[in-house]
Chain A
């Protein structure tokens, strides 16, 4: 298992696995993040979709390559079994839904069905507390972000940006297309862990547009 290292200043690094098939990259990054979670010299271990950020306090000396080399390779099957599945209930009432469907050459109902039929995976969290980058969309459902970002996207908006879906955990400026809304809170500072979704989690959207209460998130086997 080999890694390349990019320096982010004097005491932080972005490590990327090399020679791995793309479908195994995230699993190995998450395995490494978990293995390094107890390393006292590290202030930050942040798993991304393609890379792992490591940061130590400036007084520590640390060789990130040596640290990563100590970790073995985790079997992908073993990793897969640990990843819980979730469903996320969505009301497809986004103001961009019709426009997005049009650009993708679909009726909005077909777009809703296609989104709900897709097996999604949480690639990473970032941007805002609890914001999850959801991947797994086929190229036929991908669309470049809006040319002009909106000054304010409402909290709970389900949005499409490139090949990612995401749920804005709170109101924020944003350039993604708004497809619907999710009632489940994405981040609760009174909970541990505070984010509802975590990297590596498998996810399915459930269409609750026609029922009145899209109220939550549930587990599935």
Chain B
């Protein structure tokens, strides 16, 4: 069990989200930064679909009620456990009774806390994510609050195979060895900088871009925008305003995340993964999928630039990113399996970040050039 001592500004149980219910009005949602979700799960030996805690703006604190193996990815912040400084992007162990405290992110807005075994909340319509607006899924259908005690599941996949557990001395329940108290290699940390390149967000042209005034059309790809305070899990509002040559009156249509909408007031809204499933505002652009995770890490006041990209280039970029993340997941799993096979859970040597990157195939990972 994991007890919530403080949830910070907002924390909720999330996973990869739903699939195939949009015609029921249910969006896919899930963790806003899905790369962070997948890598956090990989670091603690979970399958990608395991449920985690998404923490907005840090400030949260959790007490382990049993020994737990954890990892934090996404926004980089100070992590502290009873006076011990811990690092993001690598697995660590916490003894029963110890408290994990999150600082404030230096960069980015959201981090993912994964626990070996996953947060064990009931699956609803195929996901364990929280629908915060509709009030179902996740932990009791709501954001986490002080005093909540989250059940931790039993590991799945290779971790759950009896032979694997026997050969490693790993207990399925906690991901810890009986002998050493800790099994997962904590030595190596991932380089995740490449997931969040400091570059303009790449956008594909939307069908109403042609109705923008010439000034606004030019401004979209040349001007600096600023994320406004009125931003949440559904979307990011931004300034300055953009304008149409003529007003457009549209009917509501099915809608997807990544869409850059322009309401009549002129304040653009960039829709994120938890956006509503229909909408009637003009669609001036669509953020390339390779950049969707970056939207999760933008916070009010952050500067924002856009540049145009063609569909083929956007698809290639998304495929390259997907391959790099998948390779990294596999490399982490392979490294753990190898470590168990050779060292039976002892990781005295500190494999470097470079080694992890090398395992994952350096070429696809370090760079994100279109």
Contact = CB atoms under 8 A, between A and B. Distances in A.
Contacts of A201: none
Nearest to B258: A9
B254 A128 contact: no
Contact of A128 (B124, B133, B206): B133
Interface string A101-119: 0000000000000000000
Given A9-B288, A127-B277, A53 B136 contact: no
Interface string B220-263: 00000000000000000000000000000001111110110000
Given A48-B252, A55-B256, A131-B25, A10 B134 contact: no
A130 B23 CA distance: 9
Given A43-B19, A187-B25, A194-B24, A58 B131 contact: no
B204 A125 contact: no
Q: What is the predominant secondary structure among interface residues of chain B facing chain A?
A: mixed
B37 to A, nearest CB: 17
A8 B205 CA distance: 9
A153 to B, nearest CB: 12
Interface in A32-65: 33, 43-53, 55, 58-59
Given A8-B286, A59-B322, A126 B314 contact: no
Interface string B113-148: 000000000001100000101111100000000000
Contact of B207 (A7, A55, A126, A194): A7
A10 B311 contact: yes
Contacts of B252: 48-49, 124, 126-127, 133
Nearest to A10: B314
Given A9-B289, A50-B253, A53-B256, A129 B25 contact: yes
B124 A126 contact: no
Interface residues of A, number: 45
Given A33-B23, A58-B318, A127-B276, A189 B251 contact: no
B288 A195 contact: no
A100 interface: no
Contacts of A190: 124
B135 to A, nearest CB: 6
A129 B254 contact: no
Interface string B264-289: 00000000000011110001001111
Contacts of B78: none
B22 interface: yes
A10 B203 CA distance: 10
Interface string B161-197: 0000000000000000000000000000000000000
Interface string A173-207: 00000000000000101101111001100000000
Interface residues of B, number: 45
B83 interface: no
B277 A46 contact: yes
Nearest to A169: B134
Contacts of A7: 204-205, 207, 286, 311
A209 B256 CA distance: 38
Contacts of A49: 251-253
B214 to A, nearest CB: 22
B157 interface: no
A48 B289 CA distance: 23
Contact of B25 (A10, A12, A195): A195
Contact of A125 (B24, B206, B286, B289): B24
Looking at A129, A170, A190, A192, the one whose CB has the most chain B CB atoms below 10 A away is: A129
Interface string B302-319: 000000000110110011
B134 A9 contact: no
Nearest to A55: B256
A129 B137 CA distance: 12
9 contacts: A9-B259, A53-B22, A53-B256, A124-B252, A125-B23, A127-B278, A129-B136, A133-B252, A189-B125
Given A9-B256, A125-B278, A133-B278, 20 more contacts: A7-B286, A9-B287, A9-B314, A10-B315, A12-B256, A44-B256, A48-B254, A53-B22, A53-B253, A59-B322, A124-B278, A125-B24, A125-B25, A126-B277, A127-B252, A130-B25, A131-B25, A169-B25, A193-B24, A195-B26
Interface of B: 19-26, 28, 124-125, 131, 133-137, 204-207, 251-256, 258-259, 276-279, 283, 286-289, 311-312, 314-315, 318-319, 322
